[in-house]
Each structure stands twice: as C-alpha cells, then as structure tokens.
Structure 1
C-alpha cells in the first residue's frame, strides 16, 4: 500500500490534477442539469419557471457565450500570472521551492474552476435550439443557463481571492512558513516522541549478504517500509536498505542486502518496487531536503544580489523550531524486530547532520551580517538547552567557537566584535 499511496500522491500533487477533476465535474454537471431541464415541464408559464430567470433563445446564447469567453480569458491571465510568480520565486528563493507553487491547491482550484466554467457553458450552449433549427424543437435549458450565471458570479469572487492568494504566496514569511511545515512533518516522522516497540537502534553491521542493485539512477525519494517488512517476513529473510532517503544511487550500486544470501535474486524485483527513485528530491520522507529548503532561503537571502539579512534571520529562527524538536527526542531507531528476529534495517539521518547543516552552510555567508551571526548563536544556545544528548551539546558549543573564530579572522569593527562576543557570553551563561 505504501507504493500505491506514493503513486497516488505523485498524481495528486501534479499541477493538472485538480483542473482535470474540475473539468470532469463540469461535464457531468452540464449533462445532469440539461437532463433536468428536459425533464421539467416545458413552456414559460410552467410553475417551475417562476423560480428561475427565464431568458429567450438569443439571450441565453449571448449570455453563455459572454460567460464562457470571459472565463477562458481570465483563466489564461491567471495562468500567466502563476507562471510569472513561479519564475520570480525560482530566481529569488531557489528552484527547489517552485514545486511548492506547483502543488499549491489554491492556484490549482482557481484555474480548474475557471476552465470548468468555460467547459460547462460550452456544453450547455450546444443544447439550445431555436425554431429555425431543423434538428429538434425549440429548447432553452433555463436552469442550466441560470446556474452558469451563478458560476460566473462565484468566479468573480474566486478571482479576487486568487489575486490576494498569489500576492501572499510570494511573501518571504509564507515561503518560510511552508518550508518549516514540511520540516516539522518529516521530523515528526523520523523522530517520534516515543519509539515504537518493534523499532530498536542497533550499531551492528552484518557482513556479507546477497546484493540487490538499484536498477536505475536517481534519488531515493520514498521507501515503502511496510511493504519491505512484509517481503522480509513472507520470505523469512533479513533485509538491509543500503541508501538513505535522499541519497543518490546509480543503477549498479547496491540498493539492499539480503540474508540468507541466496534469496536476494528471488526478491530483487519486489524489493526494488518498494523504493522509488526520482530525478529530484522530495520533502515527504527526506528530512535533509526539508531542512535544506529552509537553509537555502537563508543562504540566498545573504547573496550580494539579494542582501536581505532579515529574511536569513527569519529562516534561522524557523530552523530552530525543527531542530529543537528533533534534539529533544530519543535517537531514531534503525531496525524493525518481529518476534525477536531482525527483519529490516535502514539508515536514519543522524542528529549531527541536522545540527551541522545550518551552521556549515550559512556561516560562510554570515560574517558580514552581525544580526545573522547573533541568530546563529541563538540557534546554538537553543539546541544546547533543549537537547537530551551530551554529544549534541558539545557539537553546538563547537559551532559557536568556530563561528566566533571565523568572525574574528574577518577583521570586523571592534564594536561589532564586542557585540558578538558579549552575546556569546550571555547565551552561555543562560
């Protein structure tokens, strides 16, 4: 089921998915409402006509043509605006954040509803018949025409929402908040507050084993751990997943190892189907990529072309939200045990990697911005205060020492140096 849900998740996140569903719904709605119109009594003096606005044949055609044409034009404009925003965000905040715009439900719904309104009016328009037509008796689907008017009014409100939404989506706070949400979600996945009973942490590296190659090139973006475990149990084998989620593998490199060794060839195809490779990384299961998205915002904000240290400080503060949660919890398990037998082993991302990333990647660009240095010192102090692991405490102190040493080597103004040193002492005292 993990692999199936992953396939559905990829389809569900495609930019065209929601518009396609809206168009399909418009086709069904148009046929249904026209069928209702045919079923209702005919004639303008019928009782049901009192409840709707009855329009003549020419008026109905003109109204539907105006609604359909205008909605298609607005949809094209909305699509152009979206592409422009994506291009701006890609050049300013990084190309990896573009997929967040593409997966934004608000943009998809707006484009889907506008296009579906055009499809609906087109399908209803083709059913209108006048006395001059040779195909059938005169027919005007009054309910369908009035529903098109209601949809047009709703589309106007949707356009106003779209303008607000697209303007809000390019704000730095919105981008950082979205990246932080992805980071917290994946940290909760890999660093739960309580480790499941069947999940333990081992340091034993078993030698040998039958090797299963990746069979393709790309990044490991998701792993169906439940399916891997099912194959290990049904085959009465022990499986070790060699790459971690987010690692890049080649077709000839090992994907998994199997004990007993002779069962590897038999399980090769099934094990490969449990691991999805892609040309680009995803934040669904990759905690390093989720953190990297927030770190990249800070790094790009400190580039000479952008020169926005306030955004960098904001990103560092959001990184603290995820790191503090991770370092305050037990080390993640790496081995699933069933009935006392080790069935599945994999490599989680260590806390040291998560802690190192923001300091190592932001520090080289931060020496010219005192406010960013102070934010990094605060990040280290928060990690040191929250963690339950002594090694992480030492790691945070080392990063502060390296940060201070590099700042001194950059020959800063004495006032700036004194300010940073004073902040380090005050945070250490806390």
Structure 2
C-alpha cells in the first residue's frame, strides 16, 4: 500500500480550518503579542537608560532623550491617524466584497475571510495602533528637567517599523483585493482549494474488507446545520481503542437535524466507544467549507456560472471560465478511485469509513445546472460540448455513461430551443474557447 493511503489524520486539522474561517482570531492574537513585545521593549529601554546613567554618559543620555522627543511627535501622529486609516481602508474593502458577492456568488465572501493577506494586514494595522498608544504611555507627562526619567527609544523604533510594515502590507492587500474582484483569479482560487482538498483526501477504493455487522448508531445532538467536517483523528483513536469500525452516515455537506444518525458502529461485540466522544467529533455549521468537502468547489463554480448566465448579469464568458475549471477538476478525477474513503490507524487497519460522491455525482454537480442554462448561450454550449468530448477521451469506459447522457441532453435541449438547423449546428460545435 502506498504511503499516501497510510496518511494519518492530523489531530488539530479541524481546529486549524475552523480558525481559518474566522476573522477575529488573528487580530486578537496579534494584539496580545503586541502587549508582550511592548513590555519587553519597555524593559529594554529602562535597562539601556540605567546603564548609560550608571556609566555617567550624560551626553549619550541627552542624545537619546532628544531622539525620543522627536519620535514622540511621530508616534502621536501615528496613533491619531492609524484608526482613521483602518476605518477608511476596510470600509472600501467591504464595499468591494459586497460587489464581488453580488457579481459572482455569496459563497465567494469566504475567500476574503480566509485570505491570509487580509487577516495579516488588519492584524498589523490594529497592532500598530495599539503599540503607538502603549508607547505614548511610556513618555512622562510632566518630565523633570533635572533628569531624564523615560527614553522609550526602542519602543518608538518598533512603532516606526510597524508603520513601515503596515505600508508594505497595504500595497499587498490592495493588490490582492483588486485581483479578487476579477472573475479569473476568483475561479482559479476556488479551483486551487478544490485540488488542495483532493490532494489531502486519502485514496478511495474497494480494496478494504467488508464492514463487520452494525452494532449501533449515534444520532446528532445540538443545533441543526450543515455537516462541515469530522475530527478524523479523534474518531480513529476512539475506534482503535474499542476495536470497532466507524462509518459516517451522511456525507460532508449534508444538512442534519437533531436525532439524525451520523455515525454507525460496526463490530466490537457490544464494546462501543463513548457516545460523547463520537458526538464531539462531528462539526455542524451554517455553511459548507472546503476542509473535507470534495464537491464544494464544483458547487461554487456552478453557482458562479449560473449567476453569469442569469438574465440580470448575462455574462457567458464568465460561465465559460467556470466550465474550463470544472472540466479541469473532472479530468483530475477521471482515473481516481472514488467511493468510500477508508481512514486507517497506525497499524493500517481501517477504523473510519467516510462516504464520498461517486463519479456520476461529480459530473452531475458540475454540469447539470450549467447545461440547463446554456441553451440560449451558444458560447457556453459550444464549450460544454468541447469539454464533454475531452472528458470522453480521458475517462475509462466504465465512466463514459454520465458524460454521454449530458451530451445527449444538451443536444436535445439545443435542438428544441433553436429551430434553424444552421443555428443548432453552430451551438453544438465543440469549441474550447466557446466562440473562438
């Protein structure tokens, strides 16, 4: 068995993905880190001043005091302007996100939320503002002219460095935001995340032994919602301790309500894992995520294409770009074993079985709705025909039937909608550019 089949699930992978879907975590950690850095810099400033005073180097002390006073003016300006700058920049960004969600799909907003540059920029901006406030508290409000009581030189230098970093990140942030307002980078980003899920997914296959007899089922408790992911490592450990095999009943992305069976326990002869542990390993949310959902990328690409083909938008070129990526993803699945995913323990024993859509499910998800909306858009119908022809050349014989069915349905729909033979022939001619 290949090493990829033996890939052990990471224990904290669900937590990492859930934090990536939040926008508060990175700024909060940054603010706490700024407080720690400021405390260390304040201690260093005090130690530096005491060392110079003990050495009797009054000239150096006065020079440091002069630099610190100049830096105070800059820090004061930074603290008063940074929050205004943050408000203006991110207000404009929210408008840009709203426009992108309206033009593409509401699910595109998650790209902005998960963007590392967006989180890093916002965190550094807030950290710079907090640092400037903390540095100002280090200056004496009523300095004693006979001595130098406070010279926060290191703190002021850190603030200036933070401002420089903020400016660089602002350039990167604006560049990325402008890119994500264009359909090409958005579609490419969705495709890249889809392939990332595919690369992390253990290889499916029918080589595993049949499951033992089902002994019990565990129902969902808590709020209703979409099954986002499961804590694979926790379930594998629980199954290994009891010598059982767990089977995830719903698919990732299914909507579950309280009482819905989510896990089946096979084998064990009555020795079942703790139901509390099993329930805690199932994560339910308000929307789907990319973490373990192999079909979510196709869902987003299809949504973008449908929005582009609507009468209010009427942008078939965007739909063609989505079809390009759908064909790319289906081509990657062409020879990949599909079906149940078998998660194994350290010894290579199957402990968790997770159902994943079959080949026909992926084809239907990626093509059905676009095909139905492409009848009046010859650019899209021609691209669909070319994509189906390409996939029919790539897939094995056993997987040709869903593609042939979609090709036949597309031809029937176009022939019914276009009375002229010349128009029908033009709309059904395969063209990888749509109309190229």
Give TM-score scaled by structure 1 length.
0.86
Number of equivalences: 415
User: Shift in Å at residue 283 of structure 1?
Assistant: 1.3
Partner Cα distance (2:172, 2:341) in 1: 46
- Residues 1:221 and 1:371: Cα distance change in structure 2 (over 3 Å): same
How far does the alpha carbon of each residue in 1:213-264 deviate from its partner, in whole angstroms, 9 at most, with x for none? 1123222211233332332232123332211111112211211222458738
Native 8 Å contact 1:210 1:264 kept in 2: no
Distance 2:68 2:242 in 1: 72
2:67 equivalent among 55, 74, 80? 55
Contact 2:384 2:430 in 1 (8 A): no
Provide the residue aligned with 1:31 in structure 2: 39
Counterpart in 2 of 1:368? 376
Contact 1:3–1:274 (8 Å) recurs in 2: no
Matched, 1:45 2:51: no
Q: What does 1:284-323 align with in structure 2 at a 5 Å threshold?
A: 284-323=291-330
Is contact 2:238-2:273 (8 Å) kept? no
In the TM superposition, residue 131 of structure 1 has moved relative to its aligned partner by 5.1
Match of 2:395 in 1: 387
Q: What CA distance in whole angstroms lies between the structure 2 residues aligned with 1:412 and 1:47?
A: 91
The Cα shift of 1:123 comes to: 0.6
Q: CA 1:385–1:191 in 2, change beyond 3 Å: closer, same or farther?
A: farther
Q: Structure 2, unaligned stretches of length 5 or more?
A: 1-8
CA shift, 1:209, in A, is: 3.1
Asked whether the equivalents of residues 2 and 227 of structure 1 are also in contact (C-alpha less than 8 Å), the reply is: no
Local SS of the residue matching 1:211: strand
In structure 1, what is the Cα distance between the partners aligned to 2:421 and 2:168?
Answer: 57
SS at match of 2:227: strand
Corresponding position: 1:181 with 2:189: no
Contact 2:319 2:380 in 1 (8 A): yes
Computed over aligned residues only, the root mean square deviation of the Cα atoms, in angstroms, reads: 3.0
1:108 aligned to which of 119, 124, 140: 119
Residues 12-27 of structure 1 mapped to structure 2, 5 A cutoff: 12-27=20-35
TM-superposed deviation, 1:367: 0.9
- Which SS does the other structure have where 2:284 is aligned? strand
* Structure 1 match to 2:290: 283
Query: Could you tell me how far 1:158 is from its partner in structure 2?
Result: 2.8
Is the contact made by 1:257 and 1:264 (CA closer than 8 Å) also made in structure 2?
Answer: no
Determine if contact 1:54/1:142 at 8 Å carries over to the other structure. Answer: no
Q: 2:382, 2:429 within 8 Å by CA — same for their partners in 1?
A: no
Distance in 2, Cα, partners of 1:24 & 1:149: 19
Residues 246 and 353, structure 2, Cα contact 8 Å, conserved in 1: yes
Q: Contact 2:338–2:356 (CA<8 Å) still a contact in 1?
A: no
Does 2:398 align with 1:416?
no
Residue 221 of structure 1 contacts residue 278 of structure 1 at CA under 8 Å; is this kept in 2? yes
CA contact (8 A) 2:82 2:129 kept: yes
Residues 1:120 and 2:131 are matched in the alignment: yes
The yes-or-no answer on 1:220 pairing with 2:227 is yes
Greater shift in the superposed pair: 173-182 or 257-266: 257-266
Report the counterpart of residue 254 of structure 1 in structure 2.
261
Alpha-carbon shift at residue 316 of structure 1 (Å):
0.6
Partner SS for 1:55: helix
SS at match of 1:423: coil
Structure 1 gap segments, 5+ residues each:
none
Call closer, same or farther: CA 1:331–1:260 in 2, change over 3 Å.
closer
What TM-score results when the alignment is normalised by the length of structure 2? 0.85
Task: Please give the alpha-carbon distance, in whole angstroms, between the structure 2 residues aligned to 1:85 and 1:109.
Answer: 18
Q: 228-237 vs 174-183, which deviates more?
A: 228-237
Q: Shift in Å at residue 24 of structure 1?
A: 2.2
Is 1:89 aligned to 2:95, yes or no?
no
Residues 3-12 or 178-187, more deviating? 3-12
Moved more, 116-125 or 326-335: 326-335
Query: In structure 2, do the counterparts of structure 1 residues 153 and 15 end up closer, same or farther at CA, with 3 Å as the change threshold?
Result: same
Are 2:416 and 1:405 equivalent residues in the alignment? no
